[in-house]
Amino acid sequence: MFITLLLIWTLIIGMDFAIPQEGMLFPRESETREILRLDGIWNFIVSPMLDPLIGFRQYWYKNDLTRVGDFEVHLMPVPSSYNDITTQIDIRDHVGLVWYDRTVFVPQSWANDKRVVLRFSSVSYAAQVWVNGKLAMNHEIGHLPFQKDISSLLNFGTSNRITVACDNTLLQDTVPQGSVQEANTDEGRKLIQSYTFDFFNYAGIHRPVVLYTTPLVYIDDITVHTEVSGTTGLVFYNIGYALTNNVTCIVILLDKLGNKVAGADGYGEGALKVPDAKLWWPYMMHSEPGYLYTLQVELRSIRGELLDIYRQPIGIRTIAWTNTSLLLNNRPLYLHGFGRHEDSDIRGKGFDLPTTIRDHNLIRWVRGNAYRTSHYPYADELMDLADQLGIMIIDECPSVDTDLFSYRLLEKHKDSLSELYRRDKNHPSVIMWSIANEPRTQTNTAGQYFGEVAKHIKGLDKSRPITIAIARGVNEDRAGVHLDIISFNRYNAWYQYSGRLDMIIGNIVDEATAWHRKYNKPVLVSEYGADTMPGLHLLPDYIWSEEYQVSLLSNHFQAFDKLRAEGWFIGEFVWNFADFKTAQTYTRVGGNKKGIFTRDRQPKAGAHHLRQRYSLLSQELYNISLPKDLYHYSATPVIRDEL
């Protein structure tokens, strides 16, 4: 029998898995807050697959991992996935627990009148954390942050040890789902992890780790909702903090230059009126896209002493939808973008600033205006960047390929959405919630399940529409009735009718029309594409060649233009932005190659063709000039006098 960290928690420790109700503000330095970043080299040990309890029996969390006998200690960069860092197959393909630790000096100045919070932006899939040998917190579900006030566990003015046990095991009640079997190998019995989703199950401490301080009386949460009346922006706010008779909450709205444009005093709930408000607009829809105000929140004592201050970037914009349109600031949107993955060489799903900036530069180069965070929430830093650049986001929770529906899974699914909403609710770039990717929606059980999921997210946020990237056919789907926008994934001329480029246009037009006819809601294509080996050229077009990808894109473009003329088709998302790693299989050569960019972010022929498409759409929709380098010089007719 294999034992996972989740079973250890449940059977041995008896921990409560309830989602805390505290806020999840992104750590930002201020006059009252400090940050100590813990990214760097951590110690790392792989726990034996068939003896995962050894670290608990031997109390690895009570001493430095470097003192653990009989186990190799690796140096592991944080953030990163651990899978591709070493040269060892058993680490790349490990199933079960791994252990991290490091020491950090905590200054004596943090000992008085402060809370010290330890925050992990993402550990996949499950994590348990100790500080100086004492249990601090646990968290299940990757791609989302968790944190705890650890002030009582710290030794100030000296070194402290942080230990993390991480478990990548996926089961039928995890989000996403998976299964594990024991198997005989030439090296003895091992665990084999199986999952149906088509990306590698990277694991580890994937995103930044920080210690940050707050005062004892502190701002815990900020919720912002904006509306527009004429030229006046309305900013509705709710500030979470410990209510006392001796504390006043002051809210000030600053423009991009730091000038005060509105303000209010009171008890943390109210509305600000912003005359001649500058609205948040997507890239290309306005001359000043991504305009952000700063909501400065202060807590002051009755004597006027500053107790805490936090600055929250916000954008003023509205989202609305009808049975035919998605509207931003009362203007209909046409989304032209990408499905993506957080994936890169060596780092896996580890957060990496150079890759992040390169990706967003390429998105703008292609003139995309949106992307899905397929198939899980992306890093906080990416969300901030999308706000600043004016790129629209369909924010997706980690539910992918769900095929068995249970009450326990439903509760975790709802938890993942609660955590996602709590983190991303104030991002103006988030225009839609995606509550799943390619679930098996053909059964009545699935229909009931997603009815509950939809009800849950609607209870948290009524200001944004919800969708699912549906893979089932229109006649068998049972989930669309609960959605606001119909999104569907379809791979004509690839998984269906492989090689038949002449079976794309009619199929896409007919299916999209059927979705709209069935549900009377806006429709978009959330995935389409073809695997393409860079450098493979075949004439006439043949699958896997760059020519085939270009032709497949072209035929989809023709279908999309026919659908745009109908008035209810609102978007196209190519799959994928870049090649990415998958589990080993004979159908994949080094991973999924559907990217228009290679895994190292270089363009295939399809990227140039998609750039022409999105540039022409931008010219039509937003009156944007075409890039000067969109077409290379070929020839100019030369007129000669007749002899």
Q: The tokens of 260 are what?
A: 């005060």
Look at the block and give the residue holding tokens 């005093």. 265
Cα 258 to the center of its chain, rounded Å: 30
Residue type, 368: G
Residue 485, classified by CB atoms within 10 Å of its CB into exposed (0-12), middle (13-18) or buried (19+), is buried
Evaluate whether 491 touches 339 at the Cβ level (below 8 Å): no
Tell me 496's DSSP state: B
Let me know how many helices (H) and strands (E) the chain has, helices first: 10, 32
Tell me 83's DSSP state: T
Query: In degrees rounded to 5, what are phi and psi of residue 474?
Result: -65, -35
Q: Which of 459, 470, 398 is nearest to 206 (CA)?
A: 398
Whether 438 is catalytic is yes
519: left (phi over 0), alpha (psi -120 to 50) or beta: alpha
365 Cβ neighbours under 8 A, 6+ residues apart: 611
Query: In degrees rounded to 5, what are phi and psi of residue 532?
Result: -145, 120
Strand order in the sheet with 126-131: 74-78, 40-46, 97-106, 158-167, 126-131, 134-140
Distance separating alpha carbons of residues 336 and 352, to the nearest angstrom: 25
Distance separating alpha carbons of residues 529 and 593, to the nearest angstrom: 10
b/e per residue 367-378 (b: at least 16 CB within 10 A): bbbbbbbbbbbb
Q: Which of 231, 225, 276, 219 is nearest to 428 (CA)?
A: 225
- Strand pairing partners for 226? 235
Evaluate whether 374 touches 405 at the Cβ level (below 8 Å): no
Q: Which of 23, 209, 19, 27 is nearest to 120 (CA)?
A: 209
Look at the block and give the residue holding tokens 């566990």. 153
Q: Which of 329, 422, 346 is nearest to 377 (CA)?
A: 422
Tell me 580's DSSP state: B
Look at the block and give the residue holding tokens 């527009």. 228
396 Cβ neighbours under 8 A, 6+ residues apart: 372, 373, 374, 375, 376, 377, 433, 434, 437, 469
Q: Which of 499, 501, 497, 479 is nearest to 488 (CA)?
A: 479
Round the CA-based radius of gyration of the chain to a whole number and report it. 26
Q: Which of 583, 614, 609 is nearest to 596 (CA)?
A: 609
- Strand pairing partners for 574? 338
Q: Where are the alpha helices (DSSP H) in 9-146?
A: 54-57, 89-92
Distance separating alpha carbons of residues 423 and 26, to the nearest angstrom: 8
Of 298, 419, 438, 546, the catalytic one is 438
Distance separating alpha carbons of residues 148 and 380, to the nearest angstrom: 18
| Residues noted as catalytic | 438
